[in-house]
Structure 1
Amino acid sequence: MQRVTTSSPWPAPRARTPVDLTVTLPGSKSLTNRALVLAAIADGPSVVRRALRSRDTSLMAGALTALGSHVETGGEDWVVTPGPFDRDAAVDCGLAGTVMRFVPPVAALAHGSIDFDGDAHMRNRPIGEVLAALRSLGVAVSDGDRLPFRVTGAGRVRGGRVVIDASASSQFVSALLLAGARYEQGVDVRHDGKPVPSLPHIDMTVAMLREHGVEVDDADPHRWTVAPGPVAARDHLIEPDLSNAGPFLALAALSGGSVTVRDWPRHTTQAGDALRGILTEMGCSADLSDAGLTVTGPDRLQGVDLDLHDVGELAPVVAALCALADGPTHLRGIAHIRGHETDRLAALATELGGLGADVTEHDDGLSLRPATLHGGVFGTYADHRMAHAGVVVGAAVDGVLVEDVATTAKTFPDFAAFWAGLLEESPAGRAG
């Protein structure tokens, strides 16, 4: 866990009165990148409508283009034309776990050698289970279980049964499922290990495969079978990124104000939808209507006892909000977020504690007790979710300086300007 030092940390703006805001958020990174992968191996062109334009999605578009697809990203709607994967290529994963994990099973279908690397920190993130699975399916993969690595494709993959331990990331399962229909025998993925985290993301993958006409059997726990066959071309309309809604809804919660997020879907596989229940437990009201989701904050925030195993990506913002609550909190079931962009449990304990929070780090979570917070520098460790946590605390506490706030571009371009603009316009303004 290495702190990123910037010459001038960003002063997080305060919410000194209850906010009254309506926001429109960029599209979901998880949906956009899955849609791009499926479009690249489909049987015809597809359109990804309202695609998120961010570093992670640009890296995915670049990776698929390097393999041989054509991804037109000039407008709000991105057109993907599958191409022959018939070349040697280099893939830059940056800090995008979806690129590092989802693209190698696709690269295995190529005629050529595909080299993968990324930002320095990505060399610490787990990928070994996916690489081992590909080797067991007959794919030539260089030795090792971290970046950098090489996948040498022969234009076909045998496929079949594979056993993996996906307890570190649900993306290990999704990676194999997304490409599996193009394997000669499909793919039969069986998990053997501790419970798989972030199961909603696997549900998202399965749902999107079915939209493309792919037959998926997920009836048995810890087993997912994809039948071999074509991937039909389909257009996707990308939902707002509900996990990115976290800091905005937290703003309503901590200020005792109201925030509406437009276009919140009534039915979704996104993990961020859990924010409705989490914030309600903390004393907020959450109303889902045709206008979107409206969260109104209470006079006093309540502490909570939450198992966030399935929605670990929400933990940084939830922890920041709980550091401001009037009662004790215990967040558990999230040991796996130690393997995200940084060790998020250690980072949250360090940075919240540095601002005066009474926080205890556990193997699989955090405990927080009421305390008076103060200003200071909040490190982000090149992690967009840590930056979100920092701005949430900064909205309630004077003098919080967020290091490397630009890391939010991973999933939300121009986040800092957007956030500051909201607080400049509140309580009467509207943004979006």
Structure 2
Amino acid sequence: MTAVPPPTPSPSLERRLGLADAVFIGLGAMIGAGVFSVFAPAAASAGSAAALLGALALAAVVAYCNATSTAQLAARYPTAGGSYVYGRERLGEWWGFAAGWSFVIGKTASCAAMALTFAVYALPAGAEAFERPLAALAVAALVCVNLFGITRTALAARVIVVAVLAVLAVVVASGVTDALAGSAGGAGGAGGSAAIPAAALSDVTPYGIVQAAGLIFFAFAGYARIATLGEEVKSPERTIPRAVTVAFVIALAVYLAIATATVTALGADGLASAADPLVQVVQANGWEWAVPVVGVGAALASLGALLALVTGVGRTALAMGRRGDLPRALGVVDARRSVPRRAELAVGVVIVALVLAVDLRGVIAFSSFGVLLYYFVANVSAFGQPRTERRSPRVVQLVGAAGCVVLVAALPPSAVVAGVIVLAVGFGYRGLRLSRERRRGRSAAR
């Protein structure tokens, strides 16, 4: 194995986050723009309401396995970087790099998706020309929030998550009220959901269901944010596994309620073609007054997810910079604020560039590609942990790893091709760097 120079000395991050802080940061990443945007492309792939719910169940199983592996590893390696660190420690440097680079590219794409979703919901109809500039401004603002310290990030996450959950409760309540009115009045209620047909069963295929699950996984992956903050959590061996479990269970309950409400109100066809599905849900259920409320909720959810994502990507870039797998200038912690300032700023610049050029639906699939590979490494790493470190049987990691591979293979081919190319660029960068270091070592030996 090629020797890597020791990490650049710099201050460590401070342990300032408790259990509630970690849970809210994880929820902020999961219950974000994904719940407002991911069910439409997933419904298009699934082909029917029942198939969409089946895809949600499949995504939840894979996400549960990944969450369990992540919690088990984070308790053993409570430092910044998540599976980048786990892969290096348990499998080797190249495995760790594969996990870290996959996370950085996947979650950077997620950041762009969150920023664009925020702009779509925040601006009125007819203002499409301003969406990308507004998304870029949102990225810049939230990077600035992160630069003030992790406690500011945690406080902002709490406020946003509570507000978003309240808005999602309004969406679900509109469906419950419509269903009750329909039961009392006969075939239809106040809304028009009964008039929207579901997709024909002939449209449903196993491949479509698996592809839908891969897209839905985009909305589940936020619990990794808790693990990447391992160096800033108090009592990480106990806090991180508990926070991952609590955040996952809450998110799953919310997604199940929202998926049921959307397919009931719109049907699979209506949901698949909806640019703003939750807005259309309250409209279909006769709650016109709630349209602006849902729009504000979507905008807040996007900002909350973006805030948490920038935090997680910055910490992974910090860990990779410390070991030279990204430029070492990124591996420095600001002594005053205890934040990876350079890494955060670099991530912000890349996200701004993306939001000025990318398409929303395309980056969802690309993000899933990178994040699923990241969790594949996490499952393989957790599989080899000894009995004294285990929190779940090895079959959980086997199911998680296999699920990641299957979901990646079912993603849209364009996302897979783009992901492989960007992944290869990262491997090429690391290979060239190691080659230069070997040549310098041989020259010095002479």
Q: Same fold (TM over 0.5)?
A: no
TM-score normalised by length of structure 1: 0.30
Q: More relative contact order in 1 or in 2 (CA 8 Å, sep 6+)? A: 2
Higher helix fraction (1 or 2):
2
Higher strand fraction (1 or 2):
1
TM-score normalised by length of structure 2: 0.29
